[in-house]
Amino acid sequence: MHAAQAETADREAPPEFADAEEKPLASQLARFSVDERFGAFRTLVSGLPRLEHLNPLDAFHFLLNLANNHGLSGGPGSETALEIEKIIGDAISSGCDGAGIDVERGAIEIPSEAFQALQSWDRILANVDRQSLARQFTRAATEILRLASPQATPNEWQQLVDNVHEMGERHGLSVKVVQTLMAAATVAPPDHRPMEESRPKAPNFGSALPTVENLGELPPGNEPDDYGSVSPIREAGVIATKALELTYFDECGAYANKQWILKGIIARGETSAWIAPPGAGKSALLTEIAVHCAAHIDWRGHRAKVECGVVVLALERGDLFKRRLRVYHQRDELAGLPIAVADAIIDLLNPSCVEIIVSTVRAAEQQFGREVGLIILDTYAKGIAASGGDEDKARDQNRAAANLRNIHAQLNVHIALVGHTGKDENRGARGSNAHVGDVDVMVQISGETIKVAQVIKGNDQPERAVAKFKLEPFELGRDEDGEPITTAIVTTEFADELTSASAADSGKKKPTLKPIPRAALRALHECIADGAASRPVDEHVPAGVTGVTMKVWRSRLEKLSIINAKGNPREQFSRIHVTLKNAGLICIWEDVVWPVT
């Protein structure tokens, strides 16, 4: 039993409940068989005397624990549990003569909405593990205290303050922690950052709380953060823990096959990043991918495995996304595709973004009549900067990444992030490399007229080109002045062409290699001529390629003194194969390397 539940169960019953018809309720229920006990409970509860003088929350807890102790509640959320709670709630409301509007508590009435919110959050907190208790209590306090105003209805508000404070203590939080969390709740509800100019000034909360002497400061690390969240307080040596869900060795085979949407590039449960300089076509390419996922059409050599909905979170230039989507209606005569665009700023550093995005996707799924499989977030940097975050800071990148992981925990989707390269394109994505470390796939777009989208980082796939394309203007119509309305889209040219990882595909000249990388590439060809390694059996490795292991290639380089075994051969070897990969002259998969021909 949860610690808070046990504490409530051990409390003595209020005097009015001590007996009914001069016999304890428990004894009366025990007289009935298990099959008869449910009806007996309903009869006994509905006939309890003097309910109008009771604290409704005390009454509710006592009766709920009575039902639990006699095996009447069923599992959490079950139909039996909900029916028991309804019986208790009806009895209390009837005894309090609330007439379905207000519930009387002593001389002060609070709205029935507030009482129901107290009951609901009380049940939720009773089933929350210790690590989540502080955060969930802050949410509860925020929601409940919104239901009264300290200025308009001071008595009601004070009553709610007392009720919430009592609830926090009942579930194992100290007075000190309860006060801190309630103060945070008034300043920073989950959908606002604290101290926003648009946020009303917080009321004088301290005067409404019970007076406590010598509280001192919160332990280090337990102050509310920028969003009002406080880490759990580990006090009195009692920490309620919940075991993590485990997947055991023999069960791991169930995860061998990915849930592909577009085979080889877009899989459910993964996050990809699509980076390029401004104007290089990254958003246009993602628009094409969105259409192919929604229409169940193969995309540039990648097989469409399922038809799914797509939600585009356009943090900037949402109208441009809509114009590009309109092109596919006019040019390709597509209609009714399950694609929706949300044109709004989302603060990806705020934990509330998880609920916002999940709710948005759920609403889209109801409209589509099918599951959403792809979320496109354009641009990722805008979501980090929305509340003053800095993409150069690993702390901000990791906070945003953690929120995306929480979205994955609730939605079976692929999240595609649109981003930018830095000033030096050869160094990849702009900002902290924490971003590179978190995504499953990173695709970089380069080239002038003919562009190549190439995987430059993949957790379980080789670095390779995934698409070759061009951009072209498309005229959507004419404006009121008779001038054309145009937008840039990806052409259908090269659409059926299977791409290789060669940088030559971009239309550029092959790079001029320095002597050491050039000698290393020649040594790789010699190794293969001496005896190629077996081709890895994987869909990401092109059929017909021959290669050798990285170990064999490195040994050849040491033997030829291309790298110095007495220096730092590991760093030298890394520098060589990274240079050749960036030049599009080799591919690497697992421990096998092969030249691009």
Residues 546 and 443 in one domain: no
Last residue of one domain, picked from the residues 75, 97, 119: 97
Residue 63: what pLDDT? 73
Q: How many domains does the chain have?
A: 3
Residues 499 and 563 in one domain: no
Residue 556: what pLDDT? 87
Summarize the confidence of residues 229-250 as an average pLDDT. Answer: 58
Domain contains 434: yes
Residues 554 and 465 in one domain: no
| 499: DSSP letter | P
Residues 494 and 535 in one domain: no
Residues 387 and 494 in one domain: yes
The answer, yes or no, to whether residue 419 has pLDDT greater than 90, is yes
Q: What percent of the chain has pLDDT over 70?
A: 70
Residues 482 and 531 in one domain: no
111, 93 Cβ separation under 8 angstroms: no
Residues 218-239: pLDDT tens digits? Answer: 444 444 455 444 444 333 333 4
Residues 74-96: pLDDT tens digits? Answer: 655 566 666 776 677 666 655 54
Domain contains 204: no
CA dist 444 and 452 (Å) reads 8
Domain contains 475: yes
Summarize the confidence of residues 190-218 as an average pLDDT. Answer: 39
* Pairing state between β 372-378 and 414-420: parallel
CA dist 228 and 391 (Å) reads 22
- Residue 341's domain comprises 255-506
Confidence bin at 266 (pLDDT 50/70/90): very high
The answer, yes or no, to whether residue 415 has pLDDT greater than 90, is yes
Residues 537 and 476 in one domain: no
CA dist 211 and 479 (Å) reads 68
Residue 298: what pLDDT? 92
Residues 303 and 437 in one domain: yes
Domain contains 276: yes
Summarize the confidence of residues 407-416 as an average pLDDT. Answer: 94
Residue 401: what pLDDT? 94
Higher pLDDT, 578 or 98: 578
CATH of the domain at 569: 1.10.10
Last residue of one domain, picked from the residues 97, 130, 153: 97
Higher pLDDT, 102 or 245: 245
Residues 386 and 317 in one domain: yes
CA dist 400 and 389 (Å) reads 10
Last residue of one domain, picked from the residues 478, 506, 534: 506
468 phi, psi to nearest 5 deg: -125, 130
Q: Number of C-alpha atoms within 13 angstroms, CB side, residue 112?
A: 12
CATH of the domain at 267: 3.40.50.300
Q: How far are the Cα atoms of 130, 283, 310, 440 from residue 377, in angstroms, in the given order?
A: 33, 10, 11, 15
CA dist 572 and 580 (Å) reads 13
Which long-range contacts link 103-112 to residues 24+ away (Cβ below 8 Å)? 103/56, 104/52, 105/55, 105/56, 105/159, 108/155, 108/156, 108/158, 108/159, 109/156, 110/148, 110/156, 110/159, 110/160, 110/163, 111/147, 111/148, 111/156
Domain contains 247: no
Confidence bin at 528 (pLDDT 50/70/90): confident
Residues 571 and 466 in one domain: no
The answer, yes or no, to whether residue 345 has pLDDT greater than 80, is yes
Domain contains 491: yes
What DSSP line would sit under 123-142, residue for residue? HHHHT--HHHHHHHHHHHHH
Domain contains 425: yes
Confidence bin at 107 (pLDDT 50/70/90): very low
Residues 283 and 388 in one domain: yes
Domain contains 109: no
Residues 408 and 297 in one domain: yes
Summarize the confidence of residues 387-391 as an average pLDDT. Answer: 91
How many Cβ atoms sit within 10 Å of the Cβ of residue 172?
21
Which residue do the tokens 């959908």 mark?
Answer: 191
